[in-house]
Structure 1
């Protein structure tokens, strides 16, 4: 006679979650995710969903990649927790060995692994202040860097992340990012014009608000994520590098969402040729296992006092083993080639939507792509890009309709933006399936008004 207790029903599990999981977490669907495999998620109510979110750019090799899962399982039988303040462990060192050839500049040779993107941002701010002896940090309008206090202070994509939680970390100043919508300009505004506007405003910021002698670092995503999936023009990043070199300011490049082949290169900063002083990674690093990294050059990290950095779970052995297998799979399975091939197909599938008055822009790099829709209200009554002839809340309604048709996809930013984050090894067939669902959803919602 079986002594195994009966399994709870899906409905009862969902009800339990509603009652006991903090209300501070939002969800797209009231369901239990039971299984992930490749580009699909299976829910407890039987639905099999095409996943165009990848856990927000995390499962870059798809869910439960066999090589990654096997490496983690094997490591679990050797060493689960090798605390970094006690000694080295082999997966940590193996991961550095795998990542060194991937770096956008050979000067990035000092690695500190922790657990989350926010934690990496906090550590980078701490390092920048410590090694420069300066305190202020310049962030970008539209930036997202996390929800812990330091990271939240440099996040400027939406007030929802910091509303009711002030006062935030002091010493933070915001510079404009070269996104046409920030300046109420049309989508076809030349990036050179946007770059000139933003660099001039940054120079004014350094003259009016935070002097260079007080400014430790500028932090920027080479593709702003939660701010709307907008790639930074190469000339803007090059301009930041010149200013930082001139004023002895560190340049922190946040590749948490854009890194690890997501944009068609190992890291998005490579499009500009700019050398980061500090680079942050997480998300796609370990394909779902919690791991992040702060990467800098030894001449900076050598200034840190031993014991000033650390963390109980920093560079967990199982997560590092998974990350080693992930890096190997990137190379062995020709993932970068797939990203660039599927990217061309994705843009081709979306391009016909440009003729729809409701569509303002289609943009991105690699498989980090967004469609921005017009709005009848805009961000305010003063928004000249308002279009009273289009339906309201298009991005949310389209994402919901996609979900009803069997695909998860995410919105982002203060604007009406839907973002595409499929697995980097997605097949042409699954990519087309997702694009067909999206285009059908757009057509239906626009027609409904």
Structure 2
């Protein structure tokens, strides 16, 4: 796999003939509700490059939506998966358990913020882990209500759709949703400055008090089992709350017997320049939900927290046929080892420096770039109409489409559809990363 050349190369127009044939086959075989960002079909991937079936080599600034953090087909992960597959692929941990599950739980208990006696439970997807975190919080507190935030994304299952803020495409037409879900205002510095003034945009504690007032008045702490929040919002637009917002919320939860759940599905495992994003403000959530980058592409997720909370559900109340699959566990252990031994937490911080420097210079020359934000290798630009704060979703779509045609994989996000997000693998070279940003700069000038 290392023979996959780490350079951008366009052998055909995008999409090429083989991808076009697969697009036709997909339309005839796959439900139309399953969409695609890129009009190409992958054949190989390694490091910072995805090669399609037509031989085009694309610079990867998406990592499969923050999944292949240590790089696609990372050698240590490949070796671990091969060894495990040769031994056994499944027994169900609830029937015939195996060491890999226990070892992953031990690693999570060690890595997540906070000291003391911890427990973990493993599942398949981020949505599934979020639902189980809510179950645990409800049993532990004996309460039912849950608060999530504006612009939140927590998944596509029924309960997680209720927690998710954006209607299209995630919720539209799929209701009714799970009850006892409430929404509070987030700290969104770029847009809070527009509607609430500079103080609200920069004072995280003030923004948290706004949310707490809503929770007190509309829900009541005596009814509230959990508050769930992404320390940096993902699908909502890579929104980094103002400093002080998260600690103030956490303290209120502590004071009111409310479980504070950090959804670190997209932000976890070195993505933001810390092992977990909540570490940037030194907070220790009651429960941490992880997935995506945990196993370099194998389906695995987890909930981790103090034994006093995690052990609240009765025996048999947590689990699932495939939860903590042995192959996925082997991949997770190899992924964690790669992050720790390879210094990838520091690498993410270096990527942040490179990207913010380049994007900041672009912003200074182009008033359509309203904001550059994020942490580590989780960076975004919010595009606006010139001289305003009005979201420009059309420009965002044109820019991302042109980038795809030029051989750069980028993703969009945001409640208003006007955010371009960058999630490069931490193993991408500086040269590839800067080349991709140069391509985007040229396209933006042409547009």
Q: 1:435 is matched with which residue?
A: 437
Q: Decide whether the 8 Å contact of 2:123 with 2:320 is kept in 1.
A: yes
Q: Decide whether the 8 Å contact of 1:53 with 1:420 is kept in 2.
A: yes
Moved more, 394-403 or 93-102: 93-102
Q: 1:362 is matched with which residue?
A: 372
Q: 1:3 is matched with which residue?
A: none
Q: 1:444 is matched with which residue?
A: 446
Q: Decide whether the 8 Å contact of 2:304 with 2:310 is kept in 1.
A: no
Deviations 1:246-268 (A, max 9, x none): 11100000000000000000000
Give how far 1:404 is off.
1.2
Does residue 12 of structure 2 align to residue 12 of structure 1? no
Give how far 1:188 is off.
9.3
Give distance in 2, aligned partners of 1:200 and 1:351.
Answer: 31
What's the C-alpha RMSD, in Å, of the aligned pairs? 2.1
Q: 1:411 is matched with which residue?
A: 412
TM-score by length of structure 1 reads 0.91
Pick from 282, 285, 301 the counterpart of residue 276 of structure 1: 285
Pairs aligned (count): 429
Give how far 1:239 is off.
0.4
Q: 1:371 is matched with which residue?
A: 381
Moved more, 187-196 or 300-309: 187-196
3-state SS of paired residue (1:364): strand
Q: Decide whether the 8 Å contact of 2:189 with 2:201 is kept in 1.
A: no
Does residue 239 of structure 2 align to residue 230 of structure 1? yes
Give how far 1:37 is off.
1.4
Aligned 1:70-219 pairs, distance under 5 A: 70-107=79-116, 109-183=118-192, 185=194, 189=198, 193-219=202-228
Gaps of at least 5 residues in structure 1 are 1-7, 379-383
Q: 2:314 is matched with which residue?
A: 305
Give distance in 2, aligned partners of 1:342 and 1:39.
Answer: 13
3-state SS of paired residue (1:23): coil
Q: Decide whether the 8 Å contact of 2:203 with 2:243 is kept in 1.
A: no
Give distance in 2, aligned partners of 1:113 and 1:262.
Answer: 20
Give how far 1:230 is off.
1.2
Does residue 435 of structure 2 align to residue 426 of structure 1? no
Deviations 1:120-157 (A, max 9, x none): 11111111111111000000101100000111110014
Moved more, 12-21 or 115-124: 12-21
Q: 2:399 is matched with which residue?
A: 398
Give how far 1:10 is off.
4.9
Q: Decide whether the 8 Å contact of 1:158 with 1:414 is kept in 2.
A: no
Give how far 1:23 is off.
0.9
- Closer, same or farther: CA 303–392 of 1 in aligned 2, 3 Å: closer
Give distance in 1, aligned partners of 2:333 and 2:212.
Answer: 41
- Closer, same or farther: CA 316–181 of 1 in aligned 2, 3 Å: same
Deviations 1:348-394 (A, max 9, x none): 11111222111100011011000011037x9xxxxx7338xxx7611
Q: 2:390 is matched with which residue?
A: 386
Does residue 289 of structure 2 align to residue 285 of structure 1? no
Give how far 1:65 is off.
0.6
Deviations 1:13-50 (A, max 9, x none): 33111111111111123332111111111111221111
Moved more, 349-358 or 55-64: 349-358
Moved more, 309-318 or 97-106: 97-106
Gaps of at least 5 residues in structure 2 are 1-16
Aligned 1:274-353 pairs, distance under 5 A: 274-353=283-362
Give distance in 2, aligned partners of 1:189 and 1:401.
Answer: 35
- Closer, same or farther: CA 343–400 of 1 in aligned 2, 3 Å: same
TM-score by length of structure 2 reads 0.91
Q: 1:381 is matched with which residue?
A: none
Q: 2:53 is matched with which residue?
A: 44
Deviations 1:230-279 (A, max 9, x none): 11234111101111011110000000000000000000000111111110
Q: 1:5 is matched with which residue?
A: none
- Closer, same or farther: CA 192–104 of 1 in aligned 2, 3 Å: farther
Give distance in 1, aligned partners of 2:49 and 2:280.
Answer: 31
Pick from 28, 34, 38 the counterpart of residue 43 of structure 2: 34
